Structure 1
Amino acid sequence: MISKSLSKYIQSLHQKKYRQELGAFLVEGAINVLELCASDYQIEVLLVTEPFYKENALLLDKQRVRLEMVSADDLKRVGSLVVNDSALAVVKTKENRFLVADPDEFVLVLDDIRDPGNLGTILRIADWYGIRKLICSLSTADVYNPKVISASKGSFTRVAWYYCDLKTYLAEQAQGPVYGAFLDGASVHSLDFGTAGYIVMGNEANGISVEVEELVSQRITIPRFGEAESLNVGIATAIICDNLRRVETSREGIK
């Protein structure tokens, strides 16, 4: 049974203003909680069901955090997931730390990606393709939104992010090429991306903003062969990342 005070605290973290005010967020579900336990995030409290605890006792006992045994109904009542029969953690947020691309790496730049599910998917895609940094516009969805964390499937523990004014950031910090995804531009199927740079993905409805577009040095596009008007930004990000890595491995002679 979850106490009233803890229940109220957890439910407040569904809202951005309280996440920011209290410096905490929620991690829910088996995969995300297990990934969390292997990360450097600071856990405040961990709520687990008996079956989940028995299955993962060795890992959970190493956490040395406040741990409470609860029912799946308790998790459903205070959490954001429709179904959660395993665990929920309250975790301390991290500082908004400055990030910049190293000379040998690509970084994803997200311009006004407002849908939490898309942002969580992009985190997962970045993790899959070995991209460790996201630069996010101030209008991009809050990475600590429960829907973002859930959709990331644990990748939030391995990909870092920095929220900032993109126009100022790119003008002052971008040392390598800045690629921007548009409906017109060089095909990602034939473009040599080089070895480092910034890949800008825009809002699904409006694309890259005019202010950021001015700082793009190379327009790129995913060639269309059918009649669809556009691609989901998560899918588009995956296609671009895949072609980026394909060029990279081809250059290195890896089959």
Structure 2
Amino acid sequence: MVSKSQIKLITSLEQKKHRTKLGLFVVEGKKGIEELLESNFELHFLYTTQDIFNAPREKKHLISEVELKKISSLVTPQIGLAVFRIPVENEIKLKGLVMALDGVRDPGNLGTIIRLCDWFGVETLVCSLDTVDCYNSKVVQATMGSIARVDVHYLDLALFLEENNSHFKVGTFMEGENIFVTNMPKAAIVVLGNEAHGISNNIEKLIEKKINIPQFSNVKNTESLNVATATAVLLSEIRRKENY
């Protein structure tokens, strides 16, 4: 059974201020829960309609589908809901390729980008302070468990780029060099900007190399690529150049 206090706690975690205050976040669905149970994330408690998760018995509670609907933020709840502790941020690993986001606001975009970083072996993702919270439930859902393997850091992005001397700063711009023909340094920080406005002016001043994904159609009013789609193309091409 889910108590009223637990329902209140779980629903409060939809808001960032409560996630920050309590140091907790929600994960829903079999895949995401299993991935985090196998990681270094600490389980706070787990509610599930099926006893299929390898979790401590004292933190695991079997409930009905009706009860799961009361605490789930999904239209169609998926087997279970778990609450994990937000880990303390570790020191930033500046090794090889690092991705950076400047004001990305859409939860689905951030979740997909985290998943792409995991797929393409990018260990570190740095985000401006106005980028959507990676522990937003929609972001977590979109990562499909990849949040367990990618270090996400929130910081003053301009200051971070300004103080960093170990990596070449690369940014995505409409007037940049064609990614398919330009050379990319192995130790690089690749910055992607806001969905509507791109990279902000104060960050642009710190960029040492501008790149772009060329448009092959002749239709002038075609919308630019979604930031998550652009990330997929960039990472695929960068890794291809490194390995072939």
Partner of 1:3: 3
Q: Is it true that 1:248 corresponds to 2:242 in the alignment?
A: yes
Could you state the TM-score of these two structures normalised by the residue count of structure 1?
0.91
**How many corresponding residue pairs?**
241
Please report how far the alpha carbon of residue 94 of structure 1 lies from its aligned counterpart in structure 2 after TM superposition: 1.4
**Structure 2 counterpart of 1:41:** 41
1:210 corresponds to which residue? 201
| Secondary structure of 2:132 counterpart | coil
User: How far apart, in 2, do the equivalents of 1:84 and 1:34 lie?
Assistant: 16
Q: Distance in 1 between matches of 2:143 and 2:58?
A: 24
How far is 1:100 from its partner? 4.1
SS in 2 for 1:99: coil
- 2:232 aligned residue (233, 238, 244): 238
Cα gap change, 1:95/1:202 in structure 2, threshold over 3 Å: closer, same or farther? same
Q: Which whole-Å CA distance do the structure 1 matches of 2:106 and 2:58 have between them? A: 32
Give the match for residue 115 of structure 2. Answer: 124
* Length-normalised TM-score, structure 2: 0.95
Contiguous gaps of at least 5 residues in structure 1:
251-255
Following superposition of structure 1 onto structure 2, how do residues 79-158 of structure 1 map, counting pairs within 5 Å? 79-102=72-95, 105-158=96-149
Hey, what's the Cα distance between the residues in 2 that align with 1:243 and 1:65? Answer: 47
Inter-partner Cα distance in structure 2 for 1:164 and 1:73? 41
Deviations 1:98-128 (A, max 9, x none): 41422xx101000000111110010001111
Shift, 1:225, TM fit: 1.2
Corresponding residue number in structure 2 for 1:222:
213
What residue number does 1:185 align with? 176
Is 1:196 matched with 2:220? no
Gaps of 5+ in 2: none
Q: Which amino acid aligns with 1:86?
A: I
> What amino acid is aligned across from residue 155 of structure 1 in structure 2?
S
Match of 1:73 among 66, 80, 86: 66
C-alpha distance in structure 2 between counterparts of 1:132 and 1:37, whole Å: 19
Aligned letter for 1:113?
Answer: V
Residues 189-228 of structure 1: CA deviation (Å, up to 9, x unaligned):
1122122210000001000000101111110000001232
Q: Is the 8 A contact 2:46 2:59 kept in 1?
A: yes
Q: Counterpart of 2:189 in structure 1: which amino acid? A: Y
Work out whether residues 174 and 198 of structure 1, in 8 Å CA contact, stay in contact via their aligned partners in 2. no
Contact 1:43 1:65 survives alignment (8 Å):
no
CA displacement at 1:174 relative to structure 2: 4.2
